[in-house]
Structure 1
């Protein structure tokens, strides 16, 4: 008889496929990732679509989450920012290779309140705050020197005083209507559980999926 014992079974606490509250399980998995991932356990791939329906995907860092949703920050004048504002929806994928786990999330997105964005912006290193002013994100750049000139310009402009948050730079919150948890198992017979709801704030429905 073929042995289907999972050599990574010790990484899974209990039977996660019985989960009914996805935010609690996501919190547990993220904490596990902080202890095992070599870099950026909060990194995720963000997928958006442009006006033609062509998809785009790139890596970002999660900056906060709770039952209201998952928060990240961006320049609204960038390709990513424009697509988020135009479509009003997005998808995320977290993959923690050291844990053989993955979480996929989909839902509508909306701008976080100004006071929330201000608080996060002020928590960033001074150089990162300067960078939010200096970078015309996603637009053509003639040379590295041109970027460095912009950094120098805004460094001089703000001196040693406060650096206000640019109007074009803020946070987005993805309010999930779909969250899938995935755990690697031998022979590609993975465990998958999908939680869905009709809209943010409504009750979650759970179902297991074939690998």
Structure 2
């Protein structure tokens, strides 16, 4: 399949980075979880911004990630879409829009399996575990972070937007020559996230 190498699920990218934060930063040993307050009571944490207008109704988007942003909207941003694919990852389902001019794609979805939201990325950054960490004040009124851990490259961006203190919507473009947004993958990610948030707020 010619586009396979350019389709990476959001859950796979985010899970790789976040799961690596489960070890002690000094020893590298796995740490056991101590009793804590419920997640909602202790978030945000680690310096992450609070989500002041949380989106509560996300059930449809979690179960059907391709319904959150219309294919026509994706095509307006990145060109003709050949097909869509749904990946059912550990942290949540993501939708992949595979462009005809490729191999290029953009994947996006909510990550309900990560109960720490943006706070997990701020913690990872504090541990020195991210090679890219760029907070964004507002995408349609919601805070975000552009991040990565050694996977940076032309046409690639990973963006997480906090839709609740305990939930993020993550977008990952992987673009190749011929895609109109090749030089600005984070711009594409931001526009996809903005469209998703508008849809989620109206759900």
Q: What's the TM-score bracket when you normalise by the shorter of the two chains?
A: under 0.3
TM-score for both structures, normalised by structure 2: 0.27
TM-score for both structures, normalised by structure 1: 0.26
Greater fraction strand: 1
Rg larger for: 1
